[in-house]
């Protein structure tokens, strides 16, 4: 059976993290049954081994600047028969327009609401749904909210399970994702170690994490059971989330994955693009708010944890609200967006 091609253009490295690539992986997994999905990376992208082996990868050569990429794409693809998906803050209005001028069907994955949109479709899976924030062409269709959440398939399947029952917190997961350049993982660990009722602490670090030595020193001195994980696959990450009573995460796709698993969440923000999602989650009682993770001290985090660790009423309310937010059906909705384009 002939499959049309979807090209996913994103980048990832130590400076920008891997979030854009992970969102594209989630989207490729949603589409792979009906489309040929191919990743297109810039020359400065690293850690492409995170992309599952069933997807092919092409690289744009170093001499091609961003403003000339449309010419490279024209020379290397049949522009009349592909859809191009963009995920990255470098793909500004001028880039989008140059792609549309080639006649390519274009999808832009967004979370900033800043650029004028020339894409045919814009997907923003933040629950903050406000179409009035967008400047766009008349033909541009907006797909906003967690109805289109870009999570990997096993997490979407898990979101369809019944609500978890809360029985206390003795095992926690700390997962800050990416490079965690400010070593917030260590700050949270120090706060969590203050609570003797927490018997087991599981920490996940990303491929770009550079503070492993300082983390290991604390782990080796602790009397609590602490396990350190890195470079986990989808199955391993899902099982780890399921086997913990609560999680600490940033306001990013990572915390949406935890919500799909339906666990109590302690969440803060550490980057400008996380503020909108963070404000929504806090205002709607979907998280316990750790606030600005760069500025908060371990002692301040400890007080927030102390207030909420045994707050059974609020935790049960949180779990109920999480189930309403993510229904696990976004894959079919995203697939229909692409099918309607090409």
Mean pLDDT is lowest, of 31-35, 208-212, 213-217, 299-303, for 208-212
Cα dist from 298 to 215, 227, 265, whole Å: 14, 20, 17
pLDDT at 237: 96
Return the pLDDT at 178: 72
Decide if 4-150+329-339 and 155-325 have a common fold.
yes
User: Tell me: the pLDDT tens digits for 151-169?
Assistant: 999 999 999 999 999 999 9
Split at pLDDT 50, 70, 90, the class of 48 is: confident
**What pLDDT, on the 0 to 100 scale, is given for residue 16?**
83
Instruction: List, in order, residues 6 or more apart from 219 with CB less than 8 Å away.
Output: 226, 228
Q: Return the higher-pLDDT residue of 14 and 100.
A: 100
* DSSP letter for each residue of 87-150: ESTT--HHHHHHHHTTT-EEEEE-SS--SEE-SSEEEE-SS---GGG-EE-TTPEEEESGGG--
| pLDDT tens digits for range 209-267 | 889 999 999 999 999 999 999 989 899 999 999 999 999 999 999 999 999 999 999 99
Query: Could you report the per-residue pLDDT of 303-337, keeping only the tens digit for each?
Result: 999 999 999 999 999 999 999 999 999 999 999 99
In this prediction, residue 181 has a pLDDT band, given cuts at 50, 70 and 90, of confident
Give me the CATH code for the 4-150+329-339 domain, please.
3.40.50.11190
Over range 96-120, report the average pLDDT. 97
pLDDT at residue number 1:
66
**What pLDDT digit, counting tens, does each position of 52-68 carry?**
999 999 999 999 999 99
> In the chain, where are the structural domains located?
4-150+329-339, 155-325
pLDDT mean across residues, the chain: 95
Tell me which fold the domain 155-325 belongs to: Rossmann fold (3.40.50)
Share of the chain above pLDDT 90, in %: 90
Give the list of residues 6+ apart from residue 78 with CB closer than 8 angstroms, or none.
none
For the cut 90, the answer to whether the pLDDT of residue 44 exceeds it is no
Radius of gyration (C-alpha) of the chain in whole angstroms: 20
Whole-angstrom CA distances from 44 to 11, 41, 48, 208, 338 are 8, 8, 11, 14, 28
The answer to whether the CB of 205 falls within 8 A of the CB of 230 is: yes
């Amino acid at each position: 059976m002939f499959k049309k091609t979807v090209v996913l253009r994103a980048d990832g490295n130590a400076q920008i993290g891997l979030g854009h690539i992970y969102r594209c992986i989630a989207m490729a997994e949603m589409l792979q049954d009906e489309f040929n999905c191919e990743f297109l990376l810039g020359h400065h992208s690293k850690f492409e081994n995170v992309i599952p082996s069933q997807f092919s990868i092409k690289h744009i050569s170093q001499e091609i600047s961003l403003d000339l990429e449309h010419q490279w794409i024209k020379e290397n693809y049949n522009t009349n028969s592909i859809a191009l998906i963009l995920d990255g803050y470098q793909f500004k209005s001028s880039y989008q327009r140059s792609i549309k001028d080639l006649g390519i069907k274009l999808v832009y994955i967004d979370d900033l609401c800043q650029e004028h949109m020339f894409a045919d479709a814009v997907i923003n899976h933040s629950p903050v749904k406000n179409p009035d924030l967008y400047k766009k062409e008349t033909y541009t269709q907006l797909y906003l909210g967690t109805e289109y959440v870009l999570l990997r398939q096993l997490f979407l399947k898990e979101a369809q399970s019944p609500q978890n029952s809360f029985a206390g917190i003795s095992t926690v997961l700390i997962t800050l994702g990416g490079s965690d350049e400010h070593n917030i993982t260590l700050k949270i660990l120090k706060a969590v170690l203050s609570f003797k009722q927490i018997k087991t602490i599981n920490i996940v670090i990303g491929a770009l994490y550079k503070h492993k030595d300082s983390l290991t020193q604390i782990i080796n001195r602790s009397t609590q059971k602490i396990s350190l994980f890195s470079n986990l696959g989808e199955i391993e990450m899902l099982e780890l989330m399921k086997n913990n009573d609560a999680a600490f995460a940033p306001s990013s796709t990572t915390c949406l994955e935890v919500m799909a698993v339906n666990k109590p969440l302690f969440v803060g923000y550490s980057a400008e693009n996380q503020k909108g999602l963070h404000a929504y989650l806090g205002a709607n009682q979907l998280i316990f708010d750790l606030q600005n993770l760069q500025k908060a001290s371990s002692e301040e985090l400890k007080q927030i944890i102390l207030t909420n660790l045994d707050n059974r009423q609020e935790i049960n309310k949180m779990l109920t609200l999480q189930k309403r937010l993510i229904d696990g059906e976004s894959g079919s909705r995203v697939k229909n967006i692409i099918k309607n384009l090409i």
